[in-house]
Amino acid sequence: MCWPGIGRWIGSRTMNPEDLERLVTLEMPFGKYQGRLIADLPGPYLAWFARKGFPPGQIGRLLALMHELDHNGLSALLQPLRRQAGLKKPA
């Protein structure tokens, strides 16, 4: 599954649908928001990474994907995955 424009963040690779599930289940492993779900990171924090550079590896890919979703107002696309995972968006 791929939405228009999402492929930009990963260049020539195809999007892995499991990455969307990881956004609502994987916690930030370091930094100011350590322990918070990737999907719950604030937009300005994601934008900071976009300016400074995303870390290498899976965490960088996920942060870049979340930034793209947040920046384009598509975070609501994660709601069904949150429900599926038994999670709710924090107040």
The Cα 68–Cα 14 span in angstroms is 15
| pLDDT tens profile 8-22 | 444 445 668 899 999
pLDDT at 2: 42
| pLDDT tens profile 19-64 | 999 999 999 999 999 999 999 999 999 999 999 999 999 999 999 9
Element containing residue 43 per DSSP (H, E): helix 43-52
State the pTM of this model: 0.78
